[in-house]
Amino acid sequence: MRAAIIAGGKGTRIGMLYPDLPKPMIPICGKPLLQWQIESLVMQGVGDITLIVGYKADVVQAYFGRGEHYGAKISYIVEDKPLGTGGALVLLPREDTLVLLGDVYCDVDFHRFVNYHKEKQAEITLFAHPNSHPQDSDIVVVDNDNRVTIWKSKKDNKRDELRNLVNAGLYVFCGNALPTCETVKCDLEQDLVIPRLADGRVYAYRSTEYVKDMGTPERLAAVERDIEHGTTVVRNLRHKQRAVFIDRDGTLNEEHGFILAPDQLQLIPRAAEAVRMLNSSRYLTICVTNQPVVARGDVSFRQLGAIHARLDSLLSNEGAYLDDLLFCPHHPDKGFYGEVQGLKVDCECRKPKPGMLIEAARRYNIDLSQSYMIGDRTADIAAGSAAGCKPIGVKTGAALADEKFAATTDEVYDNLLDAVKSILELEIDSK
């Protein structure tokens, strides 16, 4: 596997801080962003790297040379005039290539990313994740197999509420997906990725790993803080992860019967603050929720997706996000008008069974024994215990008064925020 880094940017928003440097050469904790990327690639065995440079190309070339000092073999494509983010890719060899944008700081398991691309037999695989500012990011919509079906640009002012799944600026291109005809100017997303969506071979690799653009002074400062605190390293999926699993209805959002439409969903006061605190910690934040309304025929999968888009939107309005949301659409009891027969099963994912937590652990390399399950019902406590997590109850929603399952916990807090504060305080005390 080879890599190409698109490193020709000037950086209009952050360039005022470093007017004499191209954007990828802006220092982060004492060394250029581009050096962080190269060292990460080399450490994972990707040493054949092409740097696509333009603005102040001589600065980049003088610093990195041919890459011997970094254990890499570095070649250059120098744009005499800007060719857009994708124009120079026509000059790459026709083979599978990791493509990174040069204004993105990342600490990811590239092997895992590439293997996913190969498993899907994709033409293009893009790295996707939720973030705290989806409003100014390109959003992708995926199907049940993570095939990208819709691309919503950050420039689109008419976007409806969508799930928080953002294109992060890292790609794997199949050799035959790279451009073959030289063009004057080419946009990577608009001209290379989006036109291929109709082929059904563009996939999103969803990950909780650390990827952030540093296009503003505020984001640059945030990346430096995260590096200094070790947050970037621990999120790499080569390492075992810790998670806080959160129930939805009655724990994260108000519960007043079944939620059947997006406008019925309202967050519990300060729940977004709790999620935002977790986003700044080493814990993944994963919602696991029973949604029998699908099996009952009350809502379709599409309608449930709209409800969860509303949840994502309310959280992002307060700078918070869920790393993932898993739901169980099944219900074992029959006899409801309009029910979906294929979903009326005794499954392994419906809480109090631990199936959703175990699936999340598989996806994100989670150590369940170092994780927590927070909920308002005994089913949540039972599921957490069965998965090997530390169960925590909250007094919102059902407040554990349902007594449906013989499950108890000594840790019960008034609300989600108090429960999260307790977890994070314990984390500080253990250091």
Sheet with 390-394: list strands edge to edge: 324-328, 283-290, 242-246, 372-375, 390-394, 412-413
- Determine the 3-state secondary structure of 133 from DSSP: coil
Among candidates 207, 215, 230, 242, which has minimal Cα distance to 423?
242
The active-site residue, picked from 213, 249, 298, 324, is 249
Give the side-chain half-sphere CA count within 13 A for 228. Answer: 9
Residue 363 has a CB neighbour count (10 Å cut-off) of 17
Residue with tokens 């204004």: 103
Type of residue at 152: K
The active-site residue, picked from 138, 247, 298, 312, is 247
Residue 417 has a CB neighbour count (10 Å cut-off) of 20
Q: Do 15 and 81 form a contact (C-beta atoms < 8 A)? A: no
Told to judge if 247 belongs to the known catalytic residues of this protein, a careful annotator would answer yes
- Nearest-Å Rg of the Cα atoms of the chain is 23
By CB atoms closer than 10 A (0-12, 13-18, 19+), residue 9 is: buried
Among candidates 215, 36, 11, which has minimal Cα distance to 108?
36
- Measured CA to CA, the distance from residue 298 to residue 304 in angstroms comes to 10
363 is written with which tokens?
């996806």
List alpha helices for 295-366, DSSP H. 301-316, 355-364
Q: How far apart are the first and last CA of the chain?
A: 39
Told to judge if 249 belongs to the known catalytic residues of this protein, a careful annotator would answer yes
- Measured CA to CA, the distance from residue 268 to residue 274 in angstroms comes to 10
- Measured CA to CA, the distance from residue 38 to residue 418 in angstroms comes to 41
Q: Do 349 and 165 form a contact (C-beta atoms < 8 A)? A: no
- Residues with catalytic roles: 247, 249
